[in-house]
Structure 1
Amino acid sequence: MQDLKILSIAEQLIVSAMPVLDKIPRAQRYRYGRQLEDALYALPKLAIAAAAAGTKSKVYALCEAVDYLHALLRIGVERKLVSARWVGHVMAAAAPPAKTGGLLRQLAAMSHAWRASVRA
């Protein structure tokens, strides 16, 4: 079931982000850090809502949240607030032996595929 896989990946992403969130500089912890944490914690809730309702609006909201998180991480790397290595890892493309990309890449691919199937 796609929805359960999405939920599992969202949870794994949160767990992997916790050490990174702890290292955000104090001056940005309540501005950038709070937005990043809120965006991460919104993903499981949105995945559950999309799976339960199965409506376009809920699936679209999940896709928008994934895209927003992607943007926040790019900003964080640009401003040197989060580890570029970790962000590169979660955004990595699929490697030939593993056949899967990073957690955020997988989440984005699954949510956008779900969105495309809902459109049809």
Structure 2
Amino acid sequence: MSQFDEIMEKCTDLGQAIARTAIYKDFKKTEYELLHNPQARKLVEDLQKLRQEAYRRQLAGAPDSPEEQEKMKQMEADCLKDPQVQQSNNANLRFQELMEKISGKIKEGIKTVDQA
């Protein structure tokens, strides 16, 4: 087995181990529940549209007006008032933290070889 193949196999094993964690399972469960809750899903979709519009304005060199910024803050607050959105958001944050820790450990491993 080549070194590359060995690395890819370890990546697959890591992905499977991640998928077995409670954090990942909770993330997938809340994501599924959010997608099947029309009211919560609409809140998130509306917020995503606002964020995309703001991003396009920034790319065009037009910063958000104070009114647009306030509208975004209000939409974010409205989303987080919905229990389903809040649960999904929290699960997503926990999963992202896990992935950042994993990435950090991979970087640690690389540094130990670089320093040797």
Give the TM-score range, shorter chain: 0.3 to 0.5
Higher normalized helix content (fraction of residues):
2
Q: TM-score, normalised by structure 2?
A: 0.38
